[in-house]
Every structure is written in structure tokens, then in C-alpha cells.
A and B are shown apart, each in its own frame.
Chain A
Amino acid sequence: MIINQKVSDLIELNFTGVVIVSEEPQNEFIQIQSEKWLDVAKYIKTDSELKFDSCQCITGVDLGEDKDFEVRYNFHSMKLKHKIEIRIAIERKKPSVSSIEQVWRGADWLEREVYDMYGIRFKGHRDLRRMLLPEDWKGWPLRKDYKTPNIYNGMKVPKVRKGWD
């Protein structure tokens, strides 16, 4: 898609060394490093040619047991009617990325849900709490190495084996 190439060139122009050329050609996305992500975010929202004013979806991904995490952002511009996808790789030990909650208000809840499911800390998020699970829930459920707890507040969680199978 031509738009994708134009966007990565523009980002490359303003923030040198941020865009990582990736080998997966099939889909249109831009892989960037997570250091200067907040400035890139502000840039693509305010730049006159891009104007990505609506943050459509933030997806957390656990690529495998020992592989890294990844956060994939889908942006969309209501005025210029084009969309892109930005991916940021996050290492598994201390997963954290800067939050874009002040830039797009819609990203607030989406980031809290990714934090709730994967434990990826979003630096700068004003109210980073669990979104869906109760506050005292231990563990990050959507990680590949997640064990379902046996007891939660006195209620058996896994299916009772006897008699039901």
C-alpha cells in the first residue's frame, strides 16, 4: 500500500533510526523501536499529511513461550481516510513501553486491557489498573505460560473432573 511507504519515509525523515525494516512483507505495517514512541505518536497525530486522529485498536501479542511480546497499534484517519499499523517489540523480562494515553484518549482503556492481560507496563499512563479482571487477581492470563489458578476466593476455578467428562 502506497500510504504505508509514505508514512514510514516521513517517520524516518523526522526520527532517524527508528524504523526497523522487517522481513514480513505480506501485511502493511511499520516496525519501530519503543524508545521514541511517544514523540512519533504525537508526530503522526498532528502532522498535516497524516492526521491519524483515531486510535482504532491496541493488541498485545505473546509470540511464544520464550519469545518477546509485541504491541500492535492500528491507527486510522477520519479526515484523510487512510490507516496504518505500527508494531513495537518488547522484551519479555521487564515489559514496558511509553503510554500514548495523553495523545489519544481512546487508548486509555485499550492500554489498561493490554496491561491486564499481558502485564506490559505503560510508562506515563495516569491510571494503570486492571481493566477486566478483579484487582486481586494474580498472574497475566493471556501469556502463553499462564497457569489457571485452582482456588479464587474460596471458589474452585478449574472444571471439577469427577462426573462431568
Chain B
Amino acid sequence: MGLIHAEEMTLNIGPQHPSTHGVLRLKVKTDGEIISEITPVIGYLHRCFEKHCENLSYEQVIPFTDRCDYIAAMNNSFGYVLAVEKLMEIQVPERVEYIRVIMAEYNRIASHLLALGTFGLDVGAYTPFLYMFRDRERILDLFELTCGARLLYNYMWIGGVSHDLPVGFMEASYRFLDEFEKNITEYHNILSYNKIFIERSADVGTMPKEVAIDYGVTGPNLRGSGVKWDLRKDEPYSIYDKFIFNVPVGKGLMGSVGDCWDRYWVRAEEMKESVNIIRQALDKMPRKGDVHEALPKKVRPLKGSIYYRTESPRGDLGYYIISDGSSTPLRVKMRSPAFTALSALSEIATGWMLSDVLVILGSLDIVLGEIDR
């Protein structure tokens, strides 16, 4: 049978596809059902973020950082704001630090809920998506309570936050957190230990530790491969050193270390850790304090540059800001974690079947707004 030569067919899992999580195109060479070569083509959502940063002042850039990673907008602007404050050596009051950590962690839970829900969709389970969006809506209500917006908040300002916490926020949070803890175990029962889900995602698309580090993959994808690296723990920024939480690392419970199931499991466990952080933050938060206290009159950092990293739900979100003393930055470069995660896709997904490749893509949890910037 070796004489008969089988050609390969080139397919486009193109910009418009239900499971590419946005406008990503995968040029795929298939031999029957097996993928022999994948080249991701991106740029369909390149919205010139860095060009905007060179023409807008520092505080005008904040809404654009929200729109880069639109699923975790709080974490994005949190990273940018911290970078500029470090550049200007602004010391933010205690209460603002706590509010920012609470908002960032809530946004992490909301982003992970969306990631797990759509990953369930990729594997073919429709109902967990609806369960998880029901809880995500509850978190969006809390955001709406504080800053009026559901998805893109422009909440983090340089030196403070836009609104103080409203009156009913604390009780609503406690009520939500108690119910949400029970829901996480419910999600584990529906999806994580579901036989078909394990069959489809365990041992599939394993990413060894060396490949992950070499490609610069960070965040839950890296922790899924067994590397214990979390910026909140290893390079504590803001007030993360005041909280006690552990960092879940992939242990290969259902398959090998670093497979799709592990990345999914790490995200599910991280949600529990975020709930702990929020609880501790809500207890220890100083009740009084004006949030607009440290707002600078003119945002005009002195000449210099800084590379500041924070832990976004997708990984190491880095901002490289160069200021030339004027009120508009000379250059802002956003190091996007999903960008490097996607660059590892062609390495770990060759040789799998077409349907497995989409499961691997879903487990990497990429957002195209952040990749194309």
C-alpha cells in the first residue's frame, strides 16, 4: 500500500468560525482527518492600539487597554495603571488598592467562567455554557453596581478608581461568593468529571514544560504544564503579598501533565483561589478613605521607561511604557499572553485529528482583541 501516494488537502478554519474564539484563521493541511501542518493567520482584528497610544494622553489610553482584552478589561487597565503609577512614583491609598484587587479578581472569575463555558462548547457540551453564563451575569451585575458598565469599565484611573464601592456592594458580594462556591463543585460534577469530556480532553494536546517555557507561554497554560509560575505569588505587585492563596498546578489527574484537561482544571481551581482572595480582601479592606485622593492634576511622568508585568487571566500581561516627559507616551507596547500561547499552537497541535485541534485551541483560551491589539 505504500505505492499509492495520498495528497494533502488545504483547509481554512477561517476568520468566521464558531470555535476560533474570534477572528482567527488556521490554514490547515490535512491528510484524511489528521492535521499535518497548521499555520495560524492573525491580524483580522488589528485595531492599531499602539498607534493610538502615541497620540493620546496617558489617561485617555485607559479605555483602549480595556478594549484590547475585552473579556478581562479590569485586569488589563489594572496592569497599565500600575505601570504608569510606578513610572510617576504615585502612592495609592490603601482602600483603592483593596478595591482594585477585588475588581481584578472578580474579573478573573468572570473571564475563567467564559473560558470554561466556551471550552465546554468546543468539546460539545452546551448546558455548562448556560450555567456558567448565569453566574457570569451575576458578576457583571456587581460591576454594573459599581461603575455602571458590564464589559468595558474604564474603572481604573491613574492614582485611583472612578467610583467608590456603592452601599449594597459588600452584602451582594458575600451572598454571591457563598453561592458561587457551591456552584464550582456543581461545574466539576457536570463537566470536569464527565466521561465524554475526559475522553475528549485528557492526554490531548499535551504541552511539555520545556516547550511552554521556550515559547514564552504563561498563565494557566504554563501552570497546566506543571510550572509553578504566578506573578501574584512570584513577583507580588499591588497588595497581593497580603493575601494567603495557593497556586494550582497541573498534576495530570486524568491524563498526562500539560494536557487540555489540566489547563481546564487549573482554571477551575483558580476560581476557588480568587474567591478566597476576594473574601480576605473584603474583610481587611479599610472602610473609610477617599478614592480620588491621589489623583494627579497633570499626568506627566518624567523621562524614562518601564516594563511592568501583572497576572491577567490569560497570563503575564506586560506593559512597556516609554515616556519622554510630555503628557503623551512616546511608546506603549503591550505584551499579550494570548499572543505567545497561540504561537505554541502549531507546535503542540500537529498530528492530531481536526476535532482535537479545536479542543486544543479552546483549551489555550485566547482572545483575538489582545493578540491583534
Q: Which residues of chain A are within 8 angstroms of B320 by Cβ–Cβ distance?
A: 57, 59, 72, 74
Minimum CB distance partner of B43 in chain A: A132
The answer on a CB contact under 8 Å between B43 and A134 is yes
| Residues of chain A within 8 A of B318, CB atoms compared | 56-57, 74
For residues 105 through 133 of chain A, which have their beta carbon under 8 Å from a beta carbon of chain B?
A: 105-110, 117, 130-133
B51 within 8 Å of A (CB atoms): yes
A26 to chain B: which residues have CB within 8 Å?
304
For chains A and B in complex, what number of residue pairs have CB atoms within 8 angstroms? Answer: 79
Binds A, one of B172-180, B209-217, B286-294: B209-217
- Taking CB atoms, residues of chain A closer than 8 Å to B215 are 105-106
CA gap between A134 and B215 in the complex, in Å: 24
Q: Are A109 and B339 in contact (CB under 8 A)?
A: yes
Q: Is B42's CB under 8 angstroms from A78's CB?
A: no
- Which residues of chain A in 53-82 are interfacial with respect to chain B, using CB atoms and an 8 Å cutoff? 53-57, 59-63, 72, 74, 78, 81
A117 to B372, CA, bound (A): 12
A residues in contact with B340, CB < 8 Å: 106, 109-110
Give the CA-CA distance A85 to B306 in the complex, in Å: 10
User: Min CB distance, B308 to chain A, in Å?
Assistant: 11
Question: A132 to nearest B CB, angstroms?
Answer: 4
A11 to B347, CA, bound (A): 32
Could you tell me the distance in whole angstroms from the C-beta of B297 to the nearest C-beta in chain A? 23
Contacts of A61 in B (CB 8 A): 322, 330-331
Q: Given A26-B304, A132-B46 in contact, is the A59-B331 Cβ separation under 8 Å?
A: yes
Q: Which residues 80-111 in A have Cβ within 8 Å of B in the complex?
A: 81, 85, 104-110
Query: What 5 A-B pairs are tightest by C-beta distance, nearest first?
Result: A106-B216, A132-B43, A57-B335, A132-B46, A59-B333
Residues of A within 8 A of B (CB): 24, 26-27, 53-57, 59-63, 72, 74, 78, 81, 85, 104-110, 117, 130-134, 141-142
